[in-house]
Amino acid sequence: MLTTHPYDDDKLREECGIFGVSNAQGAAALVALGLHALQHRGQEAAGITSFDGHSFHTHRAMGHVAGNFDKDEVIRALSGTTACGHVRYSTTGETALRNVQPLYAELVSGGFAVAHNGNISNAMRLRRDLIRRGSIFQSTSDTEVIIHLVATSSYRSLIDKFIDALKQVEGAYSLICMTAEGMIACRDPLGIRPLVMGKLGDTVIFASETVALDVVDAEYVRDVEPGELVIVKGSEIQSHRPFPPLGARPCIFEHVYFSRPDSIADGRSVYSVRKAIGAQLAIEAPVEADLVVPVPDSGVPAAIGYAQQSGIPFELGIIRSHYVGRTFIQPTAEVRRLGVKLKHNANRELIAGKRIVLIDDSIVRGTTSLKIVEMMREAGASEVHMRIASPPTRHSCFYGVDTPEREKLLAAKHDVTGMTGFIHADSLAFVSIDGLYKALGQPRRADNSPSHCDACFTGDYPTPLTDHDEQSTVEQFALLRERVGG
C-alpha cells in the first residue's frame, strides 16, 4: 500500500503528547481540546482517562483525536473533574489498542492511570525482572513497567512507591498520573522530554507544549522542572524534588522540528529560534541563488530566516496539499511515483530557470531530499542547492523519538560530499552544532558540556542505554558464533 505521506515518512517522529486537567467541570472536554493541539506529536492513537470522585473512566482508540473524541456521548461518559490524555506514535511496543494510553491499573492504594511521553531505556531489563517476580503484563509498552514498579514497591505511601519506581528507571520521561487522591506530573532528572504547567482560574493543567494551554485559554505558569514531581489535589499544588540536581539536557530537536512553531520551549519562541537557525545557516553556508524555497511545512521558519539574512527572495516553490487521504490500494510503480505529488507539488512557473535554495529541517534517510531535488529539476530549476537547519543526524534516539537504526541514517553512511551525490543536489550544507546552539541563545556550558540533549547529532547520550547495549552484545555474540560456525 502507498502511504500518501511520503515526505513525513522520512522525518524523525516524536513519540507522543500528554495533557492533564485537575479541578475542572467537564475535565475530559478540556483534555480533548488540548490533545487536538498536540496531535502533531502522535497520530497513531489517542486516549483519555477521567475520575469522578468514585470511579475511573477510560476511552482509548486508534486514529486521531477528531473522530474519536468529538462525539458528545464519548465525552459525557468521561465524567469527572480530573482527567488526563495522550496522543501516541509508538517507538516501543506494537501498534495495538492494548498499548494506547493512558494505561490504567487497580493497585492496593486504588486506581492508577499514567500517560507517558518518552522512552525508558532499561525497560526490557526491568520487565524481565518483574516477570520473574510474578508480574503479569497486559501490554508491550515500556510505560507499563512504571505501573508494575509502583505496584511491587515495598514503600507504604503511594508517593514513596512512585518515587521508588522512578529511581529504578533510566532514560527520558514526562508523566501525568492520576490517582483517587489527585494528579502527579513529573519529568526525568535531565528534563529530556518537555512538560509545562498552566492555570485556568482554579484549574491546574499540564501539557507537553504551551500551545495546548493556549487552545483552552489557560495561562502558562512555568515548566515542570527536571526531576520535579508536582502533586495536585484539587487546586492545591505541592512540589517535590526527590532526585539530586543535575545539569538539564532538554531535547534540542524540540526547537528544530517537534514542537509547533507557536509554542514556547525553554523560555523561547520556537518560531523565533527556527528563524534564527535559518539566519545562522545563511551565514555559515551562503550560496548564489535566485530563490529560497522551504520544504513545507517544517522548513518554513528557517527558510524565512535564511532569506532575510541572505537577501535572497523567499518564495513558496513547493505547494503542499492538506487534504490528502491516507492510502491507495495496491498501486503500480507508476501510481506510486505519481502519488508523491499528491502531497507536495512544484510551483513550476516560479521554479523554471531559477537557482533554488531548498531549506529543510533535517535529513534522515535522504529519500525525501532526493525526491524533492528531483521535483525541482523536473520543474526546470537550473541549480538546486540544499541547506539543512540542523547538523547531520548520525545517531539514533533512544529517548522517545522514532528514528531508524543507525545504519539507515544517511549521515551515518556518508560524509557531506557523499550525501550531496545521493540526493543529486548541486550543493548541500548543514548548520553546525555550535551554530545551532548560537541560534538557541544557549551556548555550551563553561566546561564545554552541552545544555541540551543533542545525541542524535553528536552521539553524546546523557543516560545509560542498558537495553540497547545488552541487545548489541547479544547480536555481536550471535554474529561471532555464526562466523566461527558455533
In Å, how far are 90, 215, 293 from 473, measured between CA atoms? Answer: 25, 47, 45
Alpha-carbon dihedral of residues 224, 226, 229, 235, nearest 10 degrees?
A: -10
Asked if residues 389 and 274 have their Cβ atoms less than 8 Å apart, the reply is yes
DSSP string of 23-35? S-TTHHHHHHHHH
Answer yes or no: 456 catalytic: no
Radius of gyration of the chain (CA): 23
Cell triple for 94: 506494537
Tell me the backbone φ, ψ of residue 172, rounded to 5 degrees. -120, 135
SS3 360: strand
SS3 402: strand
The residue type found at 188 is D
Q: DSSP class of residue 162?
A: H
d(CA 52, CA 26): 10
Residue with cell 515526505: 7
Alpha-carbon dihedral of residues 379, 380, 381, 387, nearest 10 degrees?
A: 30
SS3 145: helix
d(CA 228, CA 246): 12
Which helix (H) or strand (E) element contains residue 3?
A: strand 2-3
Q: DSSP class of residue 216?
A: T
Annotated catalytic residue within 16, 84, 251, 453: 16
In Å, how far are 22, 23, 25, 141, 225 from 202, measured between CA atoms? Answer: 9, 7, 11, 34, 21
Edge-first strand listing for the sheet containing 110-120: 103-107, 110-120, 171-179, 183-187, 229-233, 236-240
d(CA 36, CA 30): 10
Tell me the backbone φ, ψ of residue 414, rounded to 5 degrees. -135, 150
Cell triple for 297: 511545512
d(CA 250, CA 72): 38
Annotated catalytic residues are 16
